Copies of this chain bind each other. A is one copy, B any other.
């Protein structure tokens, strides 16, 4: 199949392009937003497939359960929504033990407790690989969801934390050699990622105009944000925060980081960075600017400029 995930999403959107009453944001954002009077309901879904999103060789059932929840919570966070509830569809091979399933549930519960959401139901079936599909429901005040489409020329582009750790962690997992605390931390970034729920609330309060979680790499997700906002961006490579032990390539094209990529009016950036640092001890790095036009221009540390392709993690291109 020759189409990418983004191309299929574009096709889906075209096919579904009718207006839906009460739907504020549909296909193409981190999650859908439905206005429901005094509250907006935000709905997201994400599926983890064995051998595509995770390898059983180095992924415990407990970590898998937690991650299945966290990746959905991250989608809600990227809309500045508060997570409330989740349902899970599970497909399992016949050689899975009941102990394994209890561990999976245990990991889900840990993540649900951590992010204060309720796991309220599910569905179970057979498959020849493990598939964990979660749908998560969140809430946000009407009109307060931060979409991918709100970036404006002149806005600063910013990311929380540091990027590339999960990608470096994947390299360590594949090598089978874990040496020291730094390797363990990188591996944990891959296996037990965190969703930036509190960070998103701070950024929204400080005036973020657009937001997306960096699940498929900075290059790809910045492109997505630009496409939705009908703008371009200049990405200052020297400003991209690279996690310790990761490479700049990991930070640009690695997946699974779940940091937030946000745009803010340039005058709001400093206050947002200060608020994030003060309240949550998290660094906000300015990594570029939104410009008129389309596409992303990468500015090298020596000042050279080149177009940045939307390379990165395409779960659909993996086999």
Task: Name A's B-contacting residues (CB within 8 A).
Answer: 1-3, 5, 8-9, 11-12, 15-16, 20, 22-23, 25-29, 31-32, 34, 36-39, 41, 43-47, 49, 52-53, 84-85, 87-89, 91-92, 94-98, 101-102, 105-106, 109, 118-129, 131, 133, 135, 137, 139, 315-319
A45 & B88 in contact (Cβ 8 Å cutoff): yes
The reply to whether B125 and A45 contact each other, CB–CB distance below 8 Å, is: no
A12-B127 Cα distance, complex, nearest whole Å? 19
Other than the known A29-B121, A43-B87, what 5 A-B pairs have Cβ atoms closer than 8 Å?
A: A16-B105, A26-B120, A34-B137, A49-B91, A49-B126
Chain B min CB distance to A96 (Å): 5
**How many copies of this chain are found per oligomer?**
2
Provide 25 A-B residue pairs closer than 8 Å at the C-beta atoms, listed in order of the A residue: A1-B97, A3-B98, A5-B124, A11-B102, A15-B106, A16-B119, A20-B120, A23-B120, A27-B119, A27-B120, A32-B85, A36-B36, A36-B41, A43-B85, A43-B87, A45-B122, A47-B123, A47-B125, A52-B125, A94-B319, A125-B315, A126-B318, A127-B129, A127-B131, A133-B133
Q: Which residue of B lies closest to A38 (CB)?
A: B37
CB pair A9–B124 under 8 Å, yes or no, is yes
| Interface contact B137-A41, CB-CB below 8 Å | yes
Contacts of A22 in B (CB 8 A): 84, 118
Q: Contact check, B126 vs A95: say whether CB atoms are below 8 A apart.
A: no
CA distance A8 to B105 in the complex (A): 10
- Give the contacting residue for A2; candidates B31, B38, B98; CB below 8 A: B98
- B89 & A133 in contact (Cβ 8 Å cutoff): yes
Query: Is the pair B102, A34 in contact by a Cβ cutoff of 8 Å?
Result: no
A89, B75: Cα distance in complex, Å? 14
Instruction: Name the 9 nearest CB pairs between A and B, nearest first.
Output: A135-B135, A32-B120, A20-B118, A133-B133, A47-B89, A32-B121, A45-B87, A125-B315, A26-B120
Residues of B contacting A318 with CB < 8 Å? 125-126
Query: Complex Cα distance A46/B113, Å?
Result: 24
- State whether B26 touches A118 (Cβ < 8 A): yes
- A20, A22, A129: which has the most chain B beta carbons within 10 Å? A20
List residues of chain B with CB within 8 A of the CB of A128. 128-129
Q: A22-B84, A49-B127, A87-B45 are in contact. Are A1 and B98 (CB under 8 A)?
A: yes
Nearest B residue (CB) for A113: B18
- Are A315 and B124 also in contact (CB < 8 A) when A49-B91, A95-B1 are? yes
Point out the residues of chain B lying under 8 angstroms from A16, CB to CB.
105, 109, 119
Report which of B11, B32, B52, B124 forms a contact with A87, defined as CB distance below 8 A: B32
Q: Which residue of B lies closest to A120 (CB)?
A: B32
With the chains together, A105 CA to B128 CA distance in Å?
Answer: 25
Q: How far apart are A59's CB and chain B's nearest CB, in angstroms?
A: 16
Complex contact B34–A124 (CB within 8 A):
no
* Chain B residues positioned under 8 Å from A43 (CB to CB): 85, 87, 120-121, 135, 137
CA distance A34 to B127 in the complex (A): 30
Q: A2-B98, A15-B105 are in contact. Are A45 and B131 (CB under 8 A)?
A: no
